[in-house]
Structure 1
Amino acid sequence: MKKLLLVAMMAFGLAVNAQETSFGITGGFSNMTVKASANGISASQGASGFYVGFFADIKVSEKFNIQPELAYTASFKNDNSTNVITMPILAKYYVAENFSILAGPMLDLIVDETGDEFNSFGLGLAAGAGYDFTDNLFATARYSFGLTNRVENAVVSTKVDYFQIGLGYRF
């Protein structure tokens, strides 16, 4: 948790020093998929929900921005829920006037009690696209591939992926 907060403070510290920085809120649909594999056999289970958070949009050049975010994500399956804090730090490149591609690392921290063998902190690689409807309103879609093995058992590999699609508003 301390590592996540330190990285968040550093990312938003960069935003304060940038010349053209805007801030905003974002939210939408989220799907979390847990994938487990062992001995050539794999299984996955998904849970859908929502995410809501805030971001900084740091203009680096005419076509390139950095967009760190901090969001709360909730996923639901049957009577169970999973609560996660996600922090993507995305490079945003405008390939056209209003259309951008996004890529970068995504940190996540499962805040629910997970048990001793489960690693609640994870690192993923996110990629996606965004479209600016106006200077303030935009849509984004992205997928984050989990890179961190969440089970501290050498036999089983368990990773968490996220798909998110939503809207954002810049102030």
Structure 2
Amino acid sequence: MKNLTSPLLLAATLLSVPALAQTTGPTGVRSSTDYPSASGGTDSRNTGFGIKGGFTASNFRGDDKKNYSDEGIYNTFHAGIYTQYGFSDKFSVQPELLYSRQGFAGNNGLPNSQGQLVNGAYNTRLDYIQVPVLLVYNFLDNVSVHVGPQVSLLTKVRENGVERKLAKDANNNYAYNSLDYGLAAGLEARIGPARVGGRYVAGFNEIIKDQDLAKTGNRAISDIKNGAFQVYVGIGFNR
């Protein structure tokens, strides 16, 4: 009997190798359900990092929007990096670090940066460093919904092509809020390592603060908030 033990063990081991290969090595294009969760394995497709960038269509909203005439869309761009941490094949969290140009454009009779009333085109560019933290849910194999809070730091303002200070001073009859916070929500599709998506970002803080009504002809312009639609492409790398 002892002489049969070694051959039987060897045969059992050889027979188990194909079965093990079938359970641990799916062939072809792998779907999200082929991957274990980040907590249960190291091969989760929802854990990784990447780069992204694309087009931004920016505008503003709020109660004082009526005091701006012929307002239009400010077309610009955004770009940055992201990292993603998977909890399962369906859920993950995705922090991002983005540089985003936003703003608004149109025609009005509001004062310029020297406090003089002007009638004509205006163009305001706002440069932000943005940090969205998004909950990602894969409701289809390669399509996910993203939603979460976002914090933005205003780094530069240009009015009609001229850079100005964020603070109010003798030449500026209003200041800009350096901090914005809001909510981002959108959809994303994956094609191999590539990502294509779109989202809307709504700011909740006022863009303009400390307005001096004596210099603006009693026209309130401070209650306006950021709104932007972003379309992007990206490349991701799984961990």
Q: TM-score range by the shorter chain?
A: 0.7 to 0.9
Distance in 2 (alpha carbons) for counterparts of 1:79 and 1:141: 25
Q: Which has a greater percent of helix?
A: 2
Look up the match of 2:201.
144
Q: Give the corresponding residue for 2:86.
A: 59
User: Counterpart of 2:50?
Assistant: 24
Counterpart contact for 2:102–2:228, Cα < 8 Å: no
Shift of 1:29: 0.4
Number of the residue aligned with 2:232:
166
Q: Is 2:176 the counterpart of 1:118?
A: yes
Q: 1:55 offset after TM fit, Å?
A: 0.3
**What is the TM-score of this pair, normalised by structure 1?**
0.77
Q: Distance in 2 between matches of 1:126 and 1:108?
A: 12
Larger Rg: 2
How many residue pairs are counted as aligned between the two chains? 151
Q: Percent of counterpart pairs with the same letter?
A: 27
Pair 158,75 (structure 1): closer, same or farther in 2 beyond 3 Å: closer
- What runs of 5+ residues in structure 1 fail to find an aligned partner? 1-18
Alignment of 1:1-171 (within 5 A): 21-38=47-64, 41=66, 43=68, 44-75=71-102, 81-112=125-156, 113-116=165-168, 117-134=175-192, 136-153=193-210, 156-171=222-237
Supply the distance in 1 between the matched residues of 2:102 and 2:148 (Cα, whole angstroms).
Answer: 22
CA-based RMSD = 2.5
Gaps of 5+ in 2: 1-41, 106-121, 157-164, 169-174, 212-219
**2:39 alignment counterpart:** none
In 2, the alpha carbon distance for the partners of 1:163 and 1:137 equals 20
Deviation for aligned residue 1:110: 1.7
